[in-house]
Amino acid sequence: MEQFIARQPILNAQKRLFAYELLYRGAADYKLADVSGEKATTSLLSSAFLTRDIDEISNHKPCFINFTQKLIEQNIPASFPKSQVVVELLESIEPNEKVVAVCKSLFQQGYTIALDDFVFERKYLKLLEYVSIIKIDVRLTPLDTIIRTLNILKNYNVKLLAEKVETLEEFDRAQKMGFSYFQGYFFCRPEQIKIVELTVAKVNLLRLLNEVTQKNTTMSRLHEIISHDVATSYKLLKFLNSAYFYRLEKVSSIKHAIAYLGEKELRRFILLIIISELAVNASDELVRLVLVRAKFCELLAANSPYSLKSEQLFILGLFSSLDIMLSTSMDKVMEQLPINTEIKNALVSSTGILSLFLQAAIAVERRQKQQALKLLKELAVDLGTVSESYLTAIRYSNGLIYGEK
């Protein structure tokens, strides 16, 4: 049975990736409310650590995983690598003697323990010396309660994680209050769109983006672009020798790399490099997100009955956050690029069939299960392929960013 796993990034104060929280979202026909906490966590652990390579999902970062009272009392976390798991205790856990003893043992073994949706009660005092991270929902918890809790926690060696941070204003406020980690999608939602003049450097990048997307651009021109840029050449070789391609022999020259990739993939690679440069002031996680989204949109279309060009879907996902990267409106960005009408409509006005694929991809990445299932069924995407497609997109992104071996 196909299982759905969602991940949400956790960033540090510099908006760099610290960890992911992994969440079980059941099979396509499951309602999450019908799945017990034990079933959800054990299915997640099985899928992530046994069925899949956890590093594909986590980018070699720690994974926050929810554990219930029963699973903690059975010391289940000790069965998994302490370097890859952050043991997240649900707010419903009662800190009895058994729970405290297990947490003490895990702490002494070097595991990181986090308390979820924390609201201070005296019963938690005996647990706090073994806890490293406290998670507080900054939207649901009243401000005076947060301040009172933070004053109490000053006496303990814990770091604070702000949950449900959805805007840059909330991120700034939480950071000033002393939070070290932040969970939510604030990094890909601008506080407000600023209509600003693009710098000369970014205008030049957009012109290069324009050239790469033109059908009449030649292979010799693409070769020239790469050969005169040491950083791009290095990234190309690193990508082609990454785990995504599973090559037996290394690609050792630009000529070999270009011959191996072909025109379509070469254009695509240059697009990715340009996007990374345009996003130089954006969060690294935003770049990672659009790379996954681009590949995922393409794979969703490949598993639907619609006859769409893969390149359209890839560009759609890749360009879907250009407005945030450039701090301007999407329609202003589109004025600089001769993008076809279907892609432009999807990005500017969220209309057309391409828009539905983008919305479905975003719903999956943001763990909006019901919305995702509705859109995927509307697009007639084979639900049995969704999880594998998402993992493939993650591997693709990892290869580009990390050149994983």
**pLDDT (0 to 100) of residue 112:** 97
Instruction: Report the 10 Å Cβ neighbour count for 376.
Output: 24
- Whether 11 and 283 have beta carbons less than 8 Å apart is answered as yes
Query: What's residue 394's pLDDT?
Result: 86
Tokens, residue 377: 């069924």
Q: Are strands 133-137 and 159-163 parallel, antiparallel or unpaired?
A: parallel
Beta bridge partners of 162: 136, 182
The pLDDT of residue 26 is 46
Question: What per-residue confidence (pLDDT) applies to 178?
Answer: 94
Report how far apart, in Å, the C-alpha atoms of 294 and of each of 82, 275, 358, 389 are.
32, 12, 9, 11
The whole-number pLDDT of residue 397 equals 82
Q: Which CATH entry fits the domain spanning 5-188: 3.40.228.10, 3.40.50.2000, 3.20.20.450, 3.40.640.10?
A: 3.20.20.450
> Alpha-carbon dihedral of residues 316, 14, 154, 120, nearest 10 degrees?
0
> 179, 93, 94: which is closest to 136 by C-alpha?
179
Mean pLDDT by 10 residues, the chain (405 residues): 67 92 56 45 49 66 88 89 90 92 96 94 91 95 93 93 91 94 83 49 62 67 67 69 62 72 74 73 80 92 87 87 83 79 93 95 87 93 88 81 49
Give strand pairing partners of 135: 161
pTM above 0.85, yes or no: no
**Fold classification of 200-402 (topology level):** Hypothetical protein af1432 (1.10.3210)
- Residue 358 is predicted with a pLDDT of 96
| Closest alpha carbon to 393 in 303, 289, 301, 275 | 289
Taking the C-alpha atoms of residue 180 and residue 313, their distance in angstroms, rounded to an integer, is 36
What was the pLDDT predicted at 353? 94
Say what the pLDDT of residue 405 is: 38
Listed by start position, the domains of the chain span 5-188, 200-402
Same CATH topology for 5-188 and 200-402: the answer is: no
254-278 vs 310-319: helix axis angle to the nearest 10?
A: 40
Q: Strand 17-24 to strand 159-163: parallel, antiparallel, or no bridges (unpaired)? A: unpaired
Q: Quote the pLDDT of residue 50.
A: 41
Separation of first and last alpha carbons in the chain = 30
What's the maximum distance between 2 C-alpha atoms anywhere in the chain?
A: 71
User: pLDDT at position 51, please?
Assistant: 43
Residue range 348-362, pLDDT digits in tens: 999 999 999 999 999
Give residue 136's pLDDT: 96
